[in-house]
């Protein structure tokens, strides 16, 4: 079966954040590709990746970037595949720069922007799985079970002390 999800990121330094996307996909049994693709340091590679992504069999691209975070938007400009952008929590501006760079796409080129940092990366993986689950009943059941278990943990621990 082809790998349908690609997780790309602007730098190796983004991996501690982006591995949260990989972890939930692994937990749900969704195989995925992981690769560093930098908009600024490897622009030709970025364009090649985006242009060949659909033919490679990918259905969803998760793209994490920090600072002047152009990667998700530029990937989205070169492919019709859905792109989920994850703003990395940068040191200088705490990820506000990443968030604003990714979220403010001009009309006509869409990037689905998640929260800053590991929560956003995790949710990007979860959202990718949810999209695939529309046509995968086995994956849908796993996601339902994940959500049920999450609910149970909260219900069984109502005392916050
Ligand atoms: C961005 O620049 C990357 O996504 C990363 O978040 C940021 C800093 O990269 P490094 O200098 O740590 O490689 O392109």
Ligand 1 binding pocket mutation candidate from 14, 37, 70 (most atoms within 8 A of CB): 14
Percentages (nearest 5) of helix, strand, coil residues in the chain:
45, 15, 40
**What separation in Å is there between the alpha carbon of 39 and the centre of ligand 1?**
10
**What separation in Å is there between the alpha carbon of 159 and the centre of ligand 1?**
40
- Cβ-count burial of 41 within 10 angstroms (0-12 exposed, 13-18 middle, 19+ buried)? exposed
DSSP assignment of 6-51: EEEES-GGGHHHHHHHHHHHHHTT--EEEEE--TTTSHHHHHHHHH
Confidence of residue 2 (pLDDT cuts 50, 70, 90): confident
* Ligand 1: lining residues by beta carbon, under 6 Å: 9-11, 13-14, 38, 40, 65-67, 88
Contact by Cβ (8 Å): 27, 146: yes
pLDDT above 70: percentage of residues in the chain: 99
Residues making up the binding site? 11, 14, 41
Confidence of residue 60 (pLDDT cuts 50, 70, 90): very high
Contact by Cβ (8 Å): 117, 14: no
Name the residue with the closest Cα to ligand 1, atom 12.
Answer: 13
Task: Give Cβ neighbours of residue 71 (< 8 Å, ≥ 6 apart).
Answer: 8, 9, 10, 37, 38, 39, 46, 63, 64, 65, 85
Q: What are phi and psi of 146, to 5 degrees?
A: -60, -45
Distances (CA, A) of 90 to 4, 42, 57, 98, 116: 28, 20, 32, 7, 9
Query: 73-122 pLDDT, tens per residue?
Result: 999 999 999 999 999 999 999 999 999 999 999 999 999 999 999 999 99
Question: How far apart are the C-alpha atoms of 18 and 29, rounded to whole Å?
Answer: 17
* pLDDT of residue 1 exceeding 70: no
**What separation in Å is there between the alpha carbon of 150 and the centre of ligand 1?**
33
Note the pTM of the prediction, 2 decimals: 0.97
Q: What is the mean pLDDT of the chain?
A: 98
């Amino acid at each position: 079966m082809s790998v349908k999800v690609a997780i790309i990121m602007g730098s190796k330094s983004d991996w501690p954040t982006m591995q949260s996307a990989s972890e939930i996909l692994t937990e749900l049994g969704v195989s995925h590709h992981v690769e560093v693709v930098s908009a600024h340091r490897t622009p030709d590679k970025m364009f090649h990746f985006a242009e060949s992504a659909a033919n490679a069999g990918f259905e969803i691209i998760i793209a994490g970037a920090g600072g002047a975070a152009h990667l998700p938007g530029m990937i989205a400009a070169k492919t019709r595949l859905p792109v989920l952008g994850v703003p990395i929590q940068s040191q200088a501006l705490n990820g506000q720069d990443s968030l604003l760079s990714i979220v403010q796409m001009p009309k006509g080129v869409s990037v689905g922007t998640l929260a800053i940092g590991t929560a956003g990366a995790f949710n990007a993986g979860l959202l990718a799985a949810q999209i695939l689950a529309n046509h995968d009943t086995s994956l849908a059941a796993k996601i339902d079970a994940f959500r049920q278990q999450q609910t149970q943990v909260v219900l069984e621990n109502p005392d916050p002390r």
